[in-house]
Every structure is written in structure tokens, then in C-alpha cells.
A and B are shown apart, each in its own frame.
Chain A
Amino acid sequence: MNHSAPIDSLPQPATQRSAISLDDVRRVAGDIQASVAGVIEGKSDAIATAVVVLLAEGHLLIEDVPGVGKTMLAKALARSIDCTMRRLQFTPDLLPSDVTGVSIFNQDSHQFEFRRGAVFAGIVVGDEINRASPKTQSALLECMEENQVTVDGQTYLLQRPFMVMATQNPIEMEGTYPLPEAQRDRFMARISMGYPTAAAEMRMLDLHSAHRPLDALRPVADAALVLRAIEAVAGVYASGALRQYIVDLVTATRTAPGVRLGASPRSALQLLRAARAQAALDGRDHVLPEDVQRLWIPVLSHRVIMGGDASGRSASDTLAQLLERVPVPAHAR
């Protein structure tokens, strides 16, 4: 088949497959985490968040200085799952069609045929996403939101699981186009790697100087298994009291002092989804306030914009304060 692929010819979500148990979810997630941890030293929090985002069908924004292993994390996660992985190095001259794909005229068949872009993969690693032009950025971000690509009137569904892991450099450099708020909102969570501890760095030098650990990485799960895990996660129960807690928290960001732009309703939704995944990761069939608290800052920190009168407080500080201040409700109101 070399002509453009219609919707039904693409891999479809396996709805008929039975969901796996939460214990299996925990095991699969544990395997993935262990596998990634073999490559990234001492970053279990970042890895756990990445797995949570994977199981919650979200996208991850990794923001940090160069060289701390952003791309390594993305690649390791992709390799741990036996699914297609594409890497996009964002540059100012990267075109939207490079991301989504393009229809070209086939001289032989005298037909237009669709060449798939980089997003047609299970895991897409977008390096230095803030270096691409806004037009290209928004092409990627549309795919992230819609889980589909529309080119020349034809709509192509993307694979499942589909996860974009974008890295970006926080240091303002020439030729960068920072992601607008609306597009940052599409990422479920933002993590930063941070420098490793001295011990972890030492161990890294010991292990990684001789060979490339990424090469040794063997997949511990396949796309189908991950997909079933994702479906199991969606069934995790969130009680009224807990949903109330999320609403209270998110509402509080909109009135917190120093905040210019509070969290969107989408962030509440994503927080709940992430919390579900977190609960499943702990083998629980229901979400606890602790799950919400654990993911509160990764999920919200890139969505809350501080105003000029914040007197130097970062969004994370404000969010941490809200976590202290907002009471945990005993029941839904």
C-alpha cells in the first residue's frame, strides 16, 4: 500500500481487548521504571512522573539545562516500551509538514500519496521544541490535542499509545520561540531533571563511560500492554470528596495572590487523570489526596502564570503554598 492510508487502515485502539488488573499495571509500570532507571541515574521522581504521564495518556514537557539527560529520559522510556519511536530535532527551519506528513505526487501511479510525518509513532521525542517556528510548534501541538492529523482534507488517526515528550531549554537564547500559554497547557506535566547528586554522577561515570547504556536497553513492555494498562488506569475510582479537592485546589489558583493566570479547567481534568495513573502505579483502585498532592506541582506549574506583583515568587512556590492552605474536604459539596 503506497497510496494515502484511510482511517480504517491504521492500527485501531484495541477496545475489544480485556483490561488488565491493577496489579499488572503496577508490575508493568514498575518494570518500565526500573528499565529507565538503569539508564538515568538517581532521577526516580522524574521517571515516575514520566510513567504516570504515559499511563494517563498525556504528554510530557521536560525543561532543563542542556546535558542533564532530558533526551536520554525520553529515549529510554521509548525503548523500554516496544513501540515505534521518532525523534524530531526542532530547528527554526523545520516545517509543519515534517511533523505531520505531506502528500506528494507519485509519478508512477499518477496519484498523490501521503508521506507520514514524525508524529506517526508511539512515542515522539521533540528536542528543543522552543527552537521551532510557532507554525511548526502548533502543528505538533494540534496532533497532541486531537490524536489525529489532517492533511489535504484527509484525516489520519495517530497510533495509541501516543505520547509526545518535548524538551526545552529554559535559558533564553537567540532564535527561540517560547511556547505560548495555550500550547503549554496541552502538556500534562512538566518536569525538570535537575543535576544528579554527586554519588549518582559518580556512578554514571563508572557505568556509562565504557558503553552506551541505551544500546543495552531491552523493551519490557509492548504497545498493546501499555494500551491495556492505560485502559485499566481510566477505571481507577475518584470519589466525590477527591474530585471536590481537585476543584478546590484548581479554583484556588485563580484567586491566589500574585497569579496572573490561574489554572484552566483542562488542568483539573489532567490532574485527575494523572492522579488516577499515580494511584494505579501504587496498585490502588481509588485515588487519594496524596496522589493529587504528589502530581500537583508537575501538572500545574507550567500552567500558572505569575504576575508582575508576585515579588519574585515562582509558580511552584505559590502552588506549594496552596497545597498547604487548601483544606482536604471530607465530602463533595
Chain B
Amino acid sequence: MTRARPAQTLLAALATMVAAWPITTLFVGGAWIDGTFGLVLLGALLGMAGRALDLPPMLTLSCQLIGVTLTVVVTHLHDHLDTSLPSALRALGADAHHTVTAYAAPAPTSVGVIFFIELIIAIIAITVDFLAVTGRSPALAGVPLLVEFVISAANSGGSLHPKYSFALGLAWLAMLYAASERSARDWSGLRARIPGRPSNPTALLGGHDFGPLTRTAGVGALIAALVIAGSLPAASQKFVAKGLARGAGSGATVGFSSDLDLQRNLTDRDQSPVLTFRTADLNPPPLRALIADNYAGDHWVPDRPSYLLHGDNDSPLQRWGTNTAPTNATPYTITVTQNSMPPPFVVAPTQVSSADFGGTSWSYDPLTTQPSTSRLQEDYSVRYLSQPATARPTSETVDPANFTADLKVDSSSASLINALVKKAAPSGTRFQKVTAIQDYFRDSGGFTYSLTLDATRKDPSGRPLDPISNFLVTRQGYCMQFATAMVMAARSIGVPARLGVGFLPGTVGTSGSYQVHQSDAHAWPELYFAGMGWTRFEPTPGVRTGLAPPYASPTVGSPESSAPRRSVPSARSSRPSDSASSAPRTSVGTTSTAGHPQLIWLLWVLVALLLIAAALAIVPLLARWSRRRLHAGHGAGDDAARVQAQWDDLVSRMEDLGIDPAPQVSPRSQEEHYRLHLVVGREGRESLHRAVDVLERVRYSGRPGPSDDLSAPAEDLLMRIRRGRSFRTRVAATLFPRSGRRAVRSLFVRRDRD
């Protein structure tokens, strides 16, 4: 048991869990904690077992890795243990990737996140165990612990509370102490032999007593862990997960940059909600803050309201010009309870019909019905119109004269846009065409939602492509690119289109209210159709935005309409298949293989680990079988070798039954040894004596003959021994023979000289 070093193992596992503690600040809820704890414990137990069996370190490590990886895979993917495993893994990877890139900390704990957190921490735990316990270098084990800690430290919004670093320092020091105390104890034999010498081992060796120095250093390290961690400013960190970590400043200010680039907002890790609201609408629309219809070649210029009418609480808003109300719509209300949008911005769904801003004076643009306030109003309610799935335009034509700005096509990307329209919507009405275009962006066109844009490509003449063309070529972007491209596509077929900018409805909390964060920032196209008014479309893929608006869904009742909603974390975590079914949509076409090479690599590792595990299970038996065969081959011509092989076989089979031989003594001494350790009765002892007698005669009398054979007494003896052993021992001797294990071990260490 001392070889297994349980105390040090548990300390190493504890240190890993302590280093994982700050991860609780990164994700909502602790759904990953139980699983992680179990896996870390499993890794520790496997490590102890490996050490107790005195396996070579690399074999122990492999066993730990295989056991833990298999457990993670079986726990999370037990429904996919067939050919669908790669795709399920990919889906998990995409889910985790989406979560860490799209959400500010604390992000929801999606299945993918849980899977990878568990796997990563378990592997770190095994690394720590390997370094600190198997490899006896606890100081070095600080490196993986630090890596684990940095994952949290780099990704949390502010600076981590010093308690995390303090606890980790403490755990690490405890690990160091346990290991050095053990190695100090190893010197005690020396101490015992030389009486009258100082009891301190280092002093005994003529060295100095480092005890006080190390104690001071340890306490100093702990104080530093507290003081430095507490006093460092929360610098902008850039590490590991791009989305979570790409700091764009913290604080609760909400701003849209002049070029309306939402990337900064999207990657914001600010945890404080911009907005909290409630609504009875089961599928609340995005909340708009701005409208833009002027695309300046590479960015949008936000519209300034041309008219501002004073708003009266709860009285219907006036609509001017092209801002017509939908003919077929249901009114809903959202009630904002916490608003931190700086004035004059106020977010509200499109198609506001009336609003109540309490005592704050507010105004609205009759051309867009976008309200604005002069000062921050924390709670307000807005009534808006929501169009059902059956809503369709009353007329396909509009008067272009009324929409000059909203029909202006971006010239540099026109050719690619036209080609896209031709491909995505070759025929049909304009409404059918834009729906098809939306579907093309969301699904069939092979576009990938990504916060990082691909490198800018060049056109045949060598000039860099404009942003829209580049997006159409690389098929990778976030809402801004999708919305802009769809606006241009709609305009190219004569549908007036503009850009709406605001927020997705955010996440539903336990109380049923929605929380909107900076990272929920979103942009979408608004298209004008007679009878529908300015209508929101959703070209950004469902992994980010959830469902398309009902009227713009390709066919009502299609699989897509039953797809899960994106923004309900509780639904996600309770239905593991959600992410698996929605994720592959983002990775169709070009991305299905090239997009996740690391997952394919992981799969290969997994397959290799499985193969190794299978090999391990078969090898002991195989090794034993081959050894016996070797002996049999030996004994073919030589009586002495044959009897010797019979004896070796007897010894190793007794060893399998838990009776160790004395190390290389004479036959008679071996008999003495066995007599001491065997309870086989008089007949068994006689069999043993007969066997030893044959061996001795053959080995030393120089007259071995064919009649010399100890297999009969050996079988008799083994039968008697087996009768006295426990069922477990007998099963272990059959399935996992000790001699076979030793044979495997010798493969890993070095061959015994024989």
C-alpha cells in the first residue's frame, strides 16, 4: 500500500480540483463539478493501482488516460458508441466552441462545455498525478496546475479573487510537503544505523538544515499568492478561448461603434446584463437599438432620426411614409425591469405600437417607430406587433421612388451578390426569393458562423476583396456579415432593405425573465413588403440566432421549426442531443472535415487508446501462453530442460494463485519455503516433495531420463492449492495471471537476462 502512495495521490487530486475551482466563475451552475470530481478520483485510483502493481510509469499513465477518456466518452456519448461517434464528438466540439466564443462569462454550461471541461481537467489531474506521485516531482506538477489555473484567470471578467490563488498555493505546498517528507523518511534506515548522529537527514549527510528556510519560503509564497493576486489590476487578458478572452474593456457601458461593428460587443465578456426584461411572447424578437440603411462600402452608417415626435405613454405611435403597420399581427408586451442602455438609445422590438416610459420624457421617429429617451429610464414597457407564420405581403411591388436609400446596391460586391441570388433563389415571388436567400445563408449555402473572419482574399486582379465579397467567398462571419449580405441580396432583386442593430433576446433566467448581455449584440436585415411593413429576416445561422422568424421559415412544420431554441440554457443542458442536432448545421459543406481537424485527431487518439486497452486485456494471457509454448519447445529433446520447464510452470502457476516463490534458491530450500506458505495437507506436501525430488534428481544427479516427470505431482499439488484459495484468487489467476502481468511489464522495462 505504501508503494501506491495514497496520501500523495489524494493530495495531487485535491490540488487539481482546487486549481479548477475558479472555473466556477466562468460558467453558470456547477453541472460539470460532479463529473469532474469523479474523473479526477478515477484517475487517482488508477494511478494508485498502477503503482501498487509496480507497473512501469508509462504503463500506469496509459492506463489512467485510457480509463478516464473511456469513462468521459461513455458517460457523455453512450448513445453514440457506433459510427455516429465522430459526428457526435464534432457536435460536442462545435457546441463547446460556440459557448466559449459566443457567451460572456459566466457562460451557460452546455453539454459540450461539460464534456471538454471534464476531459481537460481529468487529463490535467493525470498529468499532475504522473509528475507528482509516479514521477516524484511535485514541484514540476505545479506547471500543469498553473496551466489549469490560467485558463480561468485569463477568461474571467475581472481579476480573480485571491482566495483561488491562495488555495492553489496551499494545495501545491501540501503536495510538496508530503513528497519531501516521504523522501526524508527513506533516509531513516541510515539514521538508524548510525547512533548518536543528529536525527535530521540533511544534517546527517553533512548538509545544512533547510527546514527553516523552506518553511519561510512556503509561507512567503502563500503571502505572495494572496497579496499579488489581490493587488494586481485586472488587465485585459488574451488567452486560450478567443471569444471569452478577447477583452474589449469591462464595465457596463453599452456602445455601438461608429462603423457599427458588433464584434467588440459580441466578444465582450462583461457579465452584468445590459437589460433584463419579461415578456409573454414565447419567442421574443430581437431588440432593436439602431437602424442603418446607408452602407458606405465597408461599414454601415447609423441613421439619424429625421423627425422626433414626443411620445405619450400608452398611446399609439404615429407612422409616417413607408413605415406601415403589418396587417396581420398579434400585439405583445415586453416589460424591461433593468435597463442600462445609455440614452438616447432605447432598445425595443421592431414594430412598436405603443410604449410606457414612466415619468421620463421620450420621443420616437415616426419613420421607424424607434423610441429614444433623453435620460436613462431603468424600467419601461413596450407594446409591439408580432407577425404570425401566415403573414405574407399583399403586393409584390413597391414604388422605388420611396426607397431610394434602401435600394442602393453596393457596387463592388454586386456581381457576387447577383450570382448568389441566382443560385439561391432562381425563381419565385420576391418574398419566396428572399426567404430562399435567407435559408441559403442559414443553412444550404455552407456558411459558418464565426466571430473570427477569414483572411481577406484577393480578386483576380490582385486587389483585396471588399468585406461583403470576402464574406461570400470565405463563407465565414458573424451576424454583421450575414445581415449585410442579405440586405444587398434583397436590394439587388428590388426589395427595399435596411439593417437593424440591437440585441438577441438573451438568456432566460430561472425567474423567467430574459437577461441580455453585451455579447448578445446582433444585427439583422429588415425588408419592406407591402402589407407587412418593415419585416425582420434572420440570415444568421440558427446556432447563434435560433429560429428564423415564423413567416420566413421555409415551410411550417419542417424539422427546422422544431429545432430547439438557442437561448434557453436549461433546455440545453437537459437535452444533450440538442446541441448535437443543431451543431452540424453550422458545419455542413466546407467545414465538415476541415473545420474540426482537432476533433478528428481526438478520434484517432481515442481509437488508438481503445486498441491499447484491448491489447492490454489480451496480453497477459497471450504472454503466458507463449511462455508455456516456449517451455514446451525447449523440452522437446532434453529431459532436463523438460522437467525444468515443468517446474517453472508449476512455480508460475502457484504464483498466479498468490504463492510467491523464494527468489532463486535450491530446490530443497524452495520446498522448505513452500511448506511454510502452503496449507495443502500431508498429501499436498508429499506431492510437493515428489516434484522437488524429481527436479533435484534431474538437475544434479546427471542422469535425467524420460521417466523423470513432475507433471503428475505438480497437477495434484495445484489442485490442492486451488481448493484452498478464494474464488476471487482463482478467477484472477485465470483471467489476469500474475506471471502474465510480469511478462507484460518486462516488455516495457527491459528483457530479463535468461
B-contacting residues of A (Cβ < 8 Å)? Answer: 237-239, 241-242, 285-290, 293, 327-331
- Tell me, in angstroms, the Cα distance from A327 to B754 when the chains sit together: 13
B700 A286 Cβ-Cβ under 8 A: yes
Which residues of B have CB within 8 Å of A293?
666
Q: Are B701 and A327 touching (Cβ within 8 A)?
A: no
Given contacts A327-B663, A330-B644, whether A241 and B668 have CB atoms under 8 Å apart is: no
Contacts of A329 in B (CB 8 A): 664
Minimal beta-carbon separation of B558 from chain A (angstroms): 79
One of B663, B665, B700 near A288 (C-beta < 8 A)? B700
Beta-carbon contact of B666 and A239 below 8 Å:
no
Task: Give the nearest-CB partner of B698 in chain A.
Answer: A239
B702 at interface, CB cutoff 8 A? yes
Please give me the residue from chain A that is nearest to B640 by CB atom. Answer: A331
Asked if B666 and A289 sit within 8 Å, CB to CB, the answer is yes
CB neighbours (8 Å) of B669 from chain A are 289-290, 328
Inter-chain contact B664/A237, CB cutoff 8 Å: no
> What is the CA–CA distance of A328 and B695 in the complex, to the nearest angstrom?
13
Instruction: Name B664's contact: one of A242, A286, A288, A327 (CB within 8 Å).
Output: A327
Shortest beta-carbon distance, A23 to chain B, in Å?
Answer: 16
Type the 1/0 row for B675-713, where 1 means its CB is closer than 8 Å to any CB of A. 000000000000000000000100111100000000000
A36 to chain B, nearest CB (A): 27
Chain B, residues 638-669, CB within 8 Å of chain A (1/0): the string is: 00110010000000000000000001111111
Q: Across the interface, do A239 and B702 meet the contact criterion of CB distance under 8 Å? A: yes
Give the chain A neighbours of B644 by CB distance below 8 A. Answer: 330-331
Chain A residues closer than 8 Å to B702, beta-carbon distance: 237, 239, 286
Q: How far is the CB of A278 from chain B (nearest CB, A)?
A: 13
Report how far A289 CA is from B696 CA in the complex, Å: 10
Q: Are A286 and B665 in contact (CB under 8 A)?
A: no
In the assembled complex, the Cα of A242 lies from the Cα of B701 at a distance in Å of 10
Question: Is B701 within 8 A of A285, CB to CB?
Answer: yes
Q: A331-B640, A331-B644 are in contact. Are A239 and B664 (CB under 8 A)?
A: no
A-B contact count (CB 8 A): 43
Contact assessment for B668 and A288 in the assembled complex, using a CB-CB cutoff below 8 Å: yes
Contact indicator B701/A286 (Cβ below 8 Å): yes
Does A288 contact B666, Cβ atoms closer than 8 Å?
A: yes
* B219 → chain A closest CB, angstroms: 42
Contacting A239 at CB < 8 Å: which of B641, B663, B701?
Answer: B701
Contact B668 A239, beta carbon cutoff 8 Å: no
Residues of A within 8 A of B640 (CB): 331
Q: Which residues of B contact A286 (CB under 8 A)?
A: 700-702
Q: What's the minimum C-beta distance from B532 to chain A, rounded to whole angstroms?
A: 95
B630 to chain A minimum Cβ distance, whole angstroms, is 15
Tell whether, in the assembled complex, residue A242 and residue B700 are in contact, meaning their CB atoms are under 8 Å apart.
Answer: yes
B residues within 8 A CB of A242? 700
Residues of B within 8 Å of A239, CB to CB, are 699-702
Q: How far is the CB of B156 from chain A (nearest CB, A)?
A: 60
Cβ contacts A to B, 25 pairs, < 8 Å? A237-B701, A237-B702, A238-B700, A239-B699, A239-B700, A239-B701, A239-B702, A241-B699, A285-B701, A287-B700, A288-B666, A288-B668, A288-B700, A289-B667, A289-B700, A290-B666, A290-B668, A290-B669, A327-B665, A328-B664, A328-B665, A328-B666, A328-B669, A330-B644, A331-B644
CA distance A167 to B644 in the complex (A): 45
- Complex CA distance for A327 and B664, rounded to whole angstroms: 5
Interface string of B75-102 (1 = CB under 8 A from A): 0000000000000000000000000000
B670 to chain A, nearest CB (A): 9
User: Chain A nearest CB: distance from B465 CB in Å?
Assistant: 79
Q: With A288-B668, A290-B666, A290-B668 known to touch, is A330 a contact of B701 (CB < 8 Å)?
A: no
Q: Cα distance A22–B663 when bound, in Å?
A: 33
Bound together, the chains give a CA A287 to CA B663 distance in angstroms of 21
Contacts of B668 in A (CB 8 A): 288-290
Which residue in chain B gives the minimum CB-CB distance to A327? Answer: B664
Q: How far is the CA of A329 from the CA of B669 in the complex (A)?
A: 13
Specify the chain A residue showing the minimal Cβ separation from B648.
A330
- Given contacts A241-B700, A289-B700, 10 further A-B pairs with CB under 8 A are A238-B700, A239-B699, A239-B702, A288-B668, A288-B700, A290-B669, A293-B666, A328-B665, A328-B666, A328-B669
The CA of A289 and the CA of B484, in the complex, are separated in Å by 95
Closest residue on chain A to residue B695 by CB atoms? A330
* CB-CB nearest 4 A-B residue pairs: A327-B664, A289-B666, A286-B701, A237-B702
Query: Closest Cβ of chain B: how far from A258's Cβ, in Å?
Result: 15
Residues of A within 8 A of B641 (CB): 331
Chain B 96-125 interface mask (CB, 8 Å, partner A; 1/0): 000000000000000000000000000000
A residues near B666, Cβ cutoff 8 Å: 288-290, 293, 328
A237 CA to B664 CA in the complex, in Å? Answer: 22
Question: Bound state CA distance, A287 and B702, in angstroms?
Answer: 10
The docked-state distance in angstroms from the alpha carbon of A290 to that of B666 is 7
The distance from the CB of A246 to the nearest CB of chain B, in whole angstroms, is 12
Closest chain A residue, CB of each to CB of B641: A331
Interface centre among A242, A287, A289 (most CB of B within 10 A): A289
Specify which of A237, A238, A239, A287 lies most central, judged by the most chain B CB atoms within 10 Å of its CB: A239
Chain B nearest Cβ from A322, distance in angstroms = 13
CA distance A237 to B701 in the complex (A): 6
Question: Shortest Cβ distance from B11 into chain A, in angstroms?
Answer: 37
Residues of A within 8 A of B664 (CB): 327-329
Shortest CB–CB separation between residue B190 and chain A, in angstroms?
Answer: 13
Identity of the chain A residue whose Cβ is nearest the Cβ of B665 in the assembled complex: A328
Smallest CB separation, A252 vs chain B (Å): 13
Instruction: Tell me, in angstroms, the Cα distance from A288 to B669 when the chains sit together.
Output: 11
**Which of B640, B666, B669 has the most chain A CB within a 10 Å cutoff?**
B666
Cα distance A241–B700 when bound, in Å? Answer: 7
In angstroms, Cα B408 to Cα A316, docked, is 109
CB neighbours of A289 from chain B (8 A): 666-669, 700
Distance in angstroms from B733 CB to nearest chain A CB is 23
Nearest residue in B to A287 (C-beta to C-beta)?
B700
**Cα–Cα distance between A290 and B699 once the two chains are bound (Å):** 13
* Nearest opposing residue in chain A for B670, CB measure: A328
CB-CB nearest in chain A for B668: A290
A239 to B669, CA, bound (A): 18
| Bound CA–CA A237/B700 (angstroms) | 8
Q: Which of B261-276 contact A (CB under 8 A)?
A: none
Question: Closest residue of chain B to A311, judged by CB?
Answer: B193
Closest chain A CB from B20 CB (angstroms): 49
Specify the chain B residue showing the minimal Cβ separation from A286. B701
Residues B690-746 near A (CB distance < 8 A): 696, 699-702
Across-interface contacts of B701 in A (CB, < 8 A): 237, 239, 285-286
Find the A residue at minimum CB distance from B193: A311
Taken together as a complex, chains A and B put the C-alpha atoms of A331 and B644 apart, in Å, by: 9
Q: Mark B245-257, 1 if CB is under 8 A from A, else 0.
A: 0000000000000
* A330 with B700, Cβ < 8 A, contacts A288-B668, A289-B666, A290-B668 known: no
Q: How far, in whole Å, are A199 and B640 apart by their CA atoms in the complex?
A: 48
C-alpha gap A242/B666 in the complex (Å): 10
What is the CB-to-nearest-CB distance from A234 to chain B, in angstroms, rounded to a whole number?
Answer: 15
Q: Which residue of A lies closest to B701 (CB)?
A: A286
Chain B residue contacts of A237, Cβ below 8 A: 700-702
Q: Name the residue on A nearest B702 (C-beta).
A: A237
CA distance A265 to B192 in the complex (A): 39
Name the CB-closest residue of B to A284. B701
Q: What's the least CB distance linking B689 to chain A, in Å?
A: 15
Rounded to whole Å, the gap between the CB of B586 and the closest CB of chain A is 67
User: Which residues in A have their C-beta under 8 angstroms from that of B699?
Assistant: 239, 241, 330-331
Tell me the complex Cα distance, A328–B644, Å.
13
